[in-house]
Chains A and B, each alone.
Chain A
Amino acid sequence: MVDLSLEVEVLFDALEHALCGRQPEHTDALIHHSDRRLQYVAIRHSERLAEAGIHVKLSQLEHSKITVSPLLLSAYTLTTSLGRGLEATREAMRYERSGLAKCCFETVELDTWVGVVDGVDAQQLPRALGHYDCRNNRLVQLGLETDGFALRVREAVERYGNDRVGVFLGTSTAGILETELAYRRRVQGSGVLPDDFHYRTTHNAFSLAEFTREYFGLTGMAMTISTACSSSAKVFGAAARQLTIGSIDAAIVGGVDSLCLTTLYGFASLQLSSARPCRPFDAARDGISIGEGAAFGLLERTEQHPPGSLLLLGVGESSDAYHMSSPHPDGLGARLAMEAALRSAGLAPDEVDYINLHGTATLANDASEGQAVATLFGDCVPCSSTKGATGHTLGAAGAVEAVICAMALTDGYLPGSPGTTELDPTIPIRYQNHNGSASLRRVLSNSFGFGGSNCSLIFGLAN
């Protein structure tokens, strides 16, 4: 059927027409070819296909449009409870160490484990940016000044101009800890918050992006993406689009989240945090361990990519449209995000060599994500969650795990999963319990968040 309007009904008419014309004895013989427009985002369509037992065929030829052209990830860094920088992280991961420890953060009284970054409180912000001072922005600075990342940014600013380097950072709670503490210091009687509490530059979700913009003296675009635990995966999409249309020449992407009472008590209230170090994809998994972290990347649009350089190949985003704090039970949203990332990269599932799973270690996430991965990739592609090592760094997780993927590509290894011992037998994926070595060309990273926000990224090495 050919129709130029974007009417959903036309789509369903076409589908029903094909279903009616199908030979009953060949119930598995209908392959649905389609581009990525209406049908992939209409639940009714997905449900009808599933009901009729139809496999959706995806291949490079079927793209209606490729969103992202390969972009160079020219510099990157991460700081988590595993340590500061790439080398410390590499060393910890080599020995399958975990950065998790019993929670003794602030005055928190919860039976849970957390991943704390060392040395955050010792950071001193530049005097002119003192109003940004809070644990979260100290962690921003600590992260930026690691692995020579800030220097690489300054070189890019020199190269392109201070209005041509954009800032795209993800967070879930930014510096909300400042507000939590300020509420304890409210003036008796009036309830007024103390004078030294600065909402804009600490608690507000934009504070980390604004701080970073000022830290490097930038004058162009900046934004925070805040979609809970997919935030700093989705920054790659936002930055890639601006790079693709040429409104900027380079982008600082990343994510920073720091420990606070809201998330520690919040996940406890949902009974989603574990009393033990988290065990992703373990049969006995019983919840997350919250971590903090900062990870950054520098994305550039370049004419040529030297062999071996790291590339962002694809970004896929979707929504569950299901529940605020539970994933879609069949992992439908997760699957849509992974499919979209594959289409954006022009890859078939069997061209992916490793998947860094969202793998929070909640019962629901791992079951639903596992189902989505099994549907799309079968049990062939090695995959693991690295949250047993870093903890769940929430809004920073997308960027932290993007950097872990970059390290896996350059180092040629498959990250293991500290904490996981007995794999959940009901999840038929090739879970990588322990480190392995492998020559990797392309890897996919999943990040999913509250509100049903899903994002998958694909990175690869240039040929």
Chain B
Amino acid sequence: MQAWIDGIGVIAPGLPNWRSAREVLSGVRDFEFTSTVLPLPSLLPAAERRRASNVIKLSLGLGLEAVNQAGVDPSTLATVFAASGADGNNCHALCEQLASKDRQISPTRFHNSVHNASAGYWGIATRSMASSQVIAAFDASFGAGLLEALAQVVCNGQLMLLIAYDSEYPQPLRAKRNTPDCGGVALLLNPQCSVASLASITLSPSHQSADVMTDAGLETLRQQIPALRALPMLQRLASGQAGSVILDYLAPMQLKLDMQPC
């Protein structure tokens, strides 16, 4: 499975966008942990924009950063969304209400509880009627999303956008699922090399152990936010060097990515 990366989006604690992530990952600047800053979802209609949850702001921000880098019109793009779970804050509010005497939950909370809420809002915001796949694979969600995204690129021969993200879980759920903050990665994938292409990636299954980040802060992010299992790949991209990385997927199956800068 091979594709070219034409655009990258990054939003994570201390890494507000791909440009600053590239500086940190290539060693120009040290990583400093700060809470994730989420962009306003300016593309959404006013009513949705006001109510947009962190998950929506995160996924739209990621996707648009990748798309804008390559100057691609999102209204024609197929998408793959990958996330470990749905909106944790919304889930908490629903479960709390359903455990109370008054079980009349809000209809908006209910329709926002679906795992594909971010894909739905992406469609509304970009008016894209293309196929949108939505994957969940717990800690393996980034790998699963990448497998599906690359398969779509190869089978359909078209540009496509992968948006992998996870949002924070509030207590008491956080004690069971420690995702402390929002973070994610978007990749605009092209079946062929274009003027916007940054690097080619070729995926193959591997039984080697996954690469880890040498910086302790970044390694914590890689472990706590499933979408950031992509960090070793981003580091290789930031270095501009050819080579391969092993990304954590689903033991014993890991993903080897051979990367060649353009």
B136-167, CB under 8 A of A: which get 1 and which 0? 11101100100110011011111100000000
- Docked complex Cα distance between A237 and B120 (Å): 19
Pick out which of these stretches binds chain A: B13-21, B58-66, B92-100, B216-224: B92-100
For residue A68, which residues in chain B have a CB less than 8 angstroms away from its CB?
Answer: 155
Spot the interface stretch: A78-86, A136-144, A199-207.
A199-207
Q: Are A224 and B135 in contact (CB under 8 A)?
A: yes
Q: Cβ of A450 < 8 Å from any Cβ of B?
A: yes
Cα(A54)–Cα(B179), bound, Å: 51
A8-B137 contact given A204-B84, A321-B124, A451-B120, CB 8 Å threshold: no
Contact A324/B136 with A220-B253, A245-B151, A452-B123 known, Cβ cut-off 8 Å: no
Whether the pair A319, B113 counts as a contact (CB closer than 8 A) is: no
Of A221, A227, A325, A332, which one neighbours B129 at CB under 8 angstroms?
A332
**How near does chain B come to A366, taking the closest CB pair, in angstroms?**
19
Residues of A close to B175: CB separation below 8 A: 192-193
A319 touches B99 (CB 8 A): no
User: CB < 8 Å: which of A186, A228, A234 contacts B133?
Assistant: A234
Residue contact B124 to A204, C-beta cutoff 8 Å: no
Tell me whether B250 is interfacial, beta carbon within 8 Å. yes
* A147 adjacent to chain B (CB < 8 Å): no
What is the chain A residue whose CB lies nearest that of B177? A199
A325 in contact with B116 (CB, 8 Å): no
Given contacts A183-B96, A262-B98, A270-B111, A209 and B148 within 8 Å (CB-CB)? no
Judge if B75 is at the interface, Cβ distance under 8 Å. Answer: yes
Q: Does B126 contact A (CB under 8 A)?
A: yes
Q: Is A413 an interface residue (CB 8 A)?
A: no
User: In chain B between 94 and 134, which residues have their CB closer than 8 angstroms to a CB of chain A?
Assistant: 94-96, 98-99, 103-107, 110-117, 119-121, 123-124, 126-134
The contact of B99 among A44, A180, A228, by CB within 8 Å, is A180
**Are the CB atoms of A241 and B151 closer together than 8 Å?**
yes
**A221 engages B253 (CB within 8 Å):** yes
- Between A41, A197, A318, the greatest number of chain B beta carbons within 10 A of the residue's beta carbon is seen for A41
The CA of A319 and the CA of B76, in the complex, are separated in Å by 11
Size of chain B's interface in residues, with CB distance under 8 A? 70
Per-residue CB contact flags for chain A residues 94-114 toward chain B (1 = under 8 Å, else 0) read: 000000000000000000000
Q: Which residue of A lies closest to B151 (CB)?
A: A241
Q: A221-B144, A266-B110 known; A41 and B76 CB under 8 Å?
A: yes
B105 touches A269 (CB 8 A): yes
Chain B hits for A375, CB < 8 A: none
Q: Count of A residues near B, CB < 8 Å? A: 78
Q: How far is the CA of A41 from the CA of B91 in the complex (A)?
A: 32
Cβ of B30 < 8 Å from any Cβ of A? no
- Would A199 and B128 count as touching, CB distance under 8 A? no
- Whether the Cβ atoms of B130 and A269 lie closer than 8 Å is no
Contact present for A319 and B132 (CB under 8 Å): yes
For the complex, what is the distance from the CA of A165 to the CA of B130, rounded to whole Å? Answer: 29
Report the bound CA distance from A186 to B99 in whole Å. Answer: 10
With both chains docked as a complex, state the minimum distance between the C-beta of B43 and any C-beta of chain A, in angstroms: 12
Q: Which residues in A have their C-beta under 8 angstroms from that of B105? A: 262, 265-266, 269
Question: For the complex, is A317 an interface residue (Cβ under 8 Å from B)?
Answer: yes
A180 to B176, CA, bound (A): 14
Pair A205/B129 contact, Cβ less than 8 Å: no
| Contact partner, A172, options B73, B114, B156, B249, Cβ 8 Å | B114
Q: How far is the CA of A163 from the CA of B204 in the complex (A)?
A: 13
Given contacts A6-B76, A318-B129, contact A451 B119 (CB under 8 A): yes
Q: Contact partner of B114 among A225, A241, A451, CB < 8 A? A: A451
The answer for the CA separation of A450 and B252 in the assembled complex, in Å, is 34
Contact status B99-A450, CB under 8 Å = no
CB contact under 8 A between A319 and B131, given known A224-B137, A227-B115, A453-B120: yes
A191 at the interface (CB under 8 A from B): yes
Contacts of A360 in B (CB 8 A): none
Inside 8 A of A332's CB, which chain B residues have their CB? 129
What's the Cα separation between A457 and B252 when bound, in Å? 32
Contact B103 A261 (CB under 8 A): yes
B242 at the A interface (CB under 8 A): no
* A453 and B155 contacting across the interface, CB-CB below 8 Å: no
Task: Report if A291 contacts B (CB, 8 A).
Answer: no
Q: Which residues of B contact A380 (CB under 8 A)?
A: none
* Nearest chain B CB to A232 CB, angstrom units: 13
Q: Is the CB of A453 within 8 A of B132?
A: yes
- CB of B171 closer than 8 Å to a CB of A: yes
Contact assessment for B119 and A221 in the assembled complex, using a CB-CB cutoff below 8 Å: no
| Cβ-based interface call for B86 (8 A) | yes
**19 further interface pairs, Cβ-Cβ under 8 Å (given A322-B124, A324-B117):** A40-B129, A41-B77, A186-B172, A204-B85, A206-B136, A221-B205, A223-B136, A226-B114, A226-B136, A227-B115, A241-B151, A245-B151, A245-B154, A270-B111, A317-B133, A321-B128, A323-B124, A325-B111, A333-B129
Residues of A within 8 A of B (CB): 6, 8, 37-38, 40-44, 46, 64-65, 67-68, 163, 172, 176, 179-180, 183-184, 186, 191-193, 197-200, 204-206, 209-210, 213, 219-228, 234, 237-238, 241-242, 244-245, 247, 261-262, 265-267, 269-270, 317-325, 332-333, 336, 340, 449-453
Task: Supply 12 A–B pairs (Cβ within 8 Å), ascending by A.
Answer: A41-B77, A192-B175, A205-B86, A225-B135, A227-B114, A245-B151, A270-B107, A320-B129, A321-B123, A322-B124, A323-B124, A332-B129
Q: Which residues of B are interface residues toward A (Cβ below 8 A)?
A: 1, 73, 75-78, 84-86, 91, 94-96, 98-99, 103-107, 110-117, 119-121, 123-124, 126-138, 140-141, 144, 147-148, 151-152, 154-159, 171-173, 175-177, 205, 249-250, 252-253
